[in-house]
Amino acid sequence: MKRQDLLMRYHAAMLEELGPSQWWPGQTTFEIMLGAILTQNTAWANVEKAIANLRQADLLEAEALYALPLDRLEELIRPSGFFRLKAQRIRHFLDFLSVSCAMDLDRLRHEDMASLRDRLLQVQGIGPETADSILLYALGLPSFVVDAYTKRILNRHSLVPEDIGYDELRDFFMDALPADAALFNEFHALIVRVGKAWCARKEGKCPSCPLSRFLG
């Protein structure tokens, strides 16, 4: 079977099982960008507490947050874990926004995606998954997001080797699928939902995974 057909079958099977996702949780471009950093190796419920603190302080806006002292930022995002690290990463990202678009985030949507991704990856604390989450979920650009669940699920279906790297796995999708931000958005969201529900353990198999049922 062609890889595109196989992947579209996966997408259809997950959509049938779970329904559409309406990702990412977050109302504004900037809130989604912050969430992408705050959720690094962290449960989303903890991220929500941090974002609630920022919202209460009326700091979910780039210029306002940039004016906040680092120690205040640390305290507000403490519930999200790794809070000293993440406060620094947010500052570095705000430096980037200040230089690259003067906090006018919508300007980023019109840049060349590949070069914007390269520049995001140069920011300390922004790795490939965070960069792709910002591009896709905050800016609506067609950059496929892969994560630990993506690798785990595809590996358990013997579609990719266990030691596949991030960019290889991203290319596995992007070389086969049309560059469609809505498709990429829903596809990654469904993978995370399937992963949480049926493939949560790092070791072992997940025989009750609905993909097995749909795909035989």
Partner DNA sequence: TGCCAGGCCGGGT
Partner DNA sequence: ACCCGGCATGGC
Report the interface residues with DNA, using CB under 7 A. Answer: 23-25, 35-36, 39-46, 49, 78-86, 123-131, 133, 137, 147-149, 163, 165-166, 192, 195-196, 200-203
Whose Cβ is closer to DNA: residue 25's or residue 142's?
25
Q: Minimum CB separation from DNA for residue 130, in Å?
A: 3
Residue 167 CB, nearest distance to DNA (Å)?
10
Nearer to DNA, 84 or 104 (CB): 84
> Please, which residue, 49 or 157, has the CB nearer to DNA?
49
User: What letter would DSSP give residue 21?
Assistant: -
70 vs 179, which CB is nearer to DNA?
70
**In the complex, minimum distance from the CB of residue 145 to DNA, in angstroms, rounded to a whole number:** 7
- CB of 204 vs DNA, minimal distance in Å: 9
Nearer to DNA, 82 or 214 (CB): 82
The least distance separating DNA from the CB of residue 131, rounded to whole angstroms, comes to 6
